[in-house]
């Protein structure tokens, strides 16, 4: 393990949330890490290593890394629901599942109007318990991140699982490759990445419906993948590096990551002021002078 002496490149004085000026490498030796989620009850981070079909567990109490689950359905993105249960996107089984407190799996969604999803990629759980997820094809276009298969659905869309009925609703159908998604702190706004188009879009959320969907920002480098929002509404997004944006869309700062590509990030630690970053074959973290929003 090494500590790379890199810090933020600040572009705008409104950033002002840098904590440590160095990045810690917590893990290397994966093949394509993704889907970080911090579990506060156990003080550990889970993340996917998709091509190796495993979910890994980094223990904050002693720094050890172990295999949490393998095989893991070629899991990608994860989130916690309000009961602390793990909600996971699985490329392999082309579904979204929940890990119950006894360890068993419950299928949340595996098809829409009778057709199997492409390969659910990333997920967020709203305060009302609704589960929102994206469905690009990266798990079925080859055998690398899942199982090669023909798509059954005409396109790559965004879905919402109703917390009351469990019904799956399509909430956006004009993306090319929807990927990461995150709510603003009050959940009135949902940001969604379109990886192929290289931009983030901003939607207004009302009653489980989306409106708007205008361009929020273009990627400064590489294509957007996962994203999260801090308590002051700044948007933190993964692409070639980690980029931080003001809620008005201004690019505030860049955190260079010494890997070819960054897949995702999540706020964690007991105070949610540590940013965990999955990038290519590794996992990094950096302390911040801000805290992650409670949307998990």
List residues near Mg ion by CB under 5 A: 121-122, 179, 225
Query: In terms of CB distance, is 178 or 292 closer to Mg ion?
Result: 178
DSSP-based three-state secondary structure for 52: helix
In the block, residue with structure tokens 């799956």: 168
Query: How far apart are CB 109 and Mg ion at their closest, in Å?
Result: 17
Query: How far apart are CB 264 and Mg ion at their closest, in Å?
Result: 6
Adjacent-strand bridge partners of 112: 115
**Encoded tokens for 122:** 């990333």
Query: How far apart are CB 136 and Mg ion at their closest, in Å?
Result: 8
Query: How far apart are CB 108 and Mg ion at their closest, in Å?
Result: 18
Cβ atoms within 10 A of the Cβ of 46, count?
Answer: 23
In the block, residue with structure tokens 């991140």: 145
Query: In terms of CB distance, is 24 or 34 closer to Mg ion?
Result: 34
For residue 179, what are the contacts with CB-CB under 8 A and spacing of at least 6? 121, 122, 134, 136, 192, 193, 194, 195, 224, 225, 226
Query: In terms of CB distance, is 33 or 121 closer to Mg ion?
Result: 121
Q: Exposed, middle or buried by CB within 10 Å (0-12, 13-18, 19+), for 1?
A: exposed
How far is 24 from 277, CA to CA, in rounded Å? Answer: 10
Query: In terms of CB distance, is 122 or 194 closer to Mg ion?
Result: 122
Question: Is residue 92 within 8 Å of residue 110, measured between CB atoms?
Answer: no
Query: In terms of CB distance, is 203 or 224 closer to Mg ion?
Result: 224
Query: How far apart are CB 121 and Mg ion at their closest, in Å?
Result: 5
Query: How far apart are CB 177 and Mg ion at their closest, in Å?
Result: 10
Question: Is residue 178 within 8 Å of residue 226, measured between CB atoms?
Answer: no
How many residues can be counted in the chain?
A: 296
Query: In terms of CB distance, is 58 or 138 closer to Mg ion?
Result: 138
Query: How far apart are CB 16 and Mg ion at their closest, in Å?
Result: 29
Query: In terms of CB distance, is 53 or 225 closer to Mg ion?
Result: 225
In the block, residue with structure tokens 């997004």: 237
Strands 115-116 and 235-238: unpaired
User: Helices in 106-244 by DSSP H: which ranges?
Assistant: none
């Amino acid at each position: 393990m090494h500590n790379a002496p890199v810090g933020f490149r600040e572009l705008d004085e409104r950033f002002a949330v840098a904590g440590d000026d160095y990045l810690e490498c917590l893990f290397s030796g994966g093949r394509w890490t993704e889907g970080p989620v911090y579990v506060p009850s156990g003080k550990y981070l889970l993340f996917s290593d998709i091509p190796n079909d495993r979910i890994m567990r980094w223990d904050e109490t002693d720094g050890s890394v172990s295999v949490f689950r393998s095989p893991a359905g070629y899991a990608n993105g994860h989130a916690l629901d309000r009961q602390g249960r793990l909600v996971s996107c699985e490329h392999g089984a082309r579904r979204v599942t929940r890990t119950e407190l006894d360890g068993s799996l419950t299928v949340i969604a595996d098809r829409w109007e009778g057709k199997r999803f492409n390969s659910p990629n990333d997920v967020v759980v709203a305060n009302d318990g609704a589960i929102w997820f994206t469905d690009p094809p990266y798990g079925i276009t080859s055998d690398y991140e899942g199982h090669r298969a023909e798509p059954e659905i005409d396109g790559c869309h965004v879905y919402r699982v109703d917390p009351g009925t469990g019904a799956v609703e399509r909430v956006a159908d004009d993306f090319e490759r929807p990927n990461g998604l995150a709510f603003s702190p009050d959940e009135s706004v949902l940001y969604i990445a379109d990886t192929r188009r290289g931009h983030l879009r901003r939607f207004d959320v009302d009653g489980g419906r989306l409106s708007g969907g205008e361009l929020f920002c273009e990627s400064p480098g590489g294509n957007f993948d996962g994203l999260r929002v801090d308590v002051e509404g700044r948007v933190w997004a993964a692409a070639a590096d980690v980029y931080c944006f003001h809620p008005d869309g201004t690019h505030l700062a860049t955190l260079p990551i010494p890997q070819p590509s960054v897949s995702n990030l999540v706020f964690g630690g007991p105070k949610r002021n540590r940013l965990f970053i999955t990038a290519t074959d590794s996992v990094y973290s950096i302390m911040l002078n801000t805290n992650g929003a409670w949307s998990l």
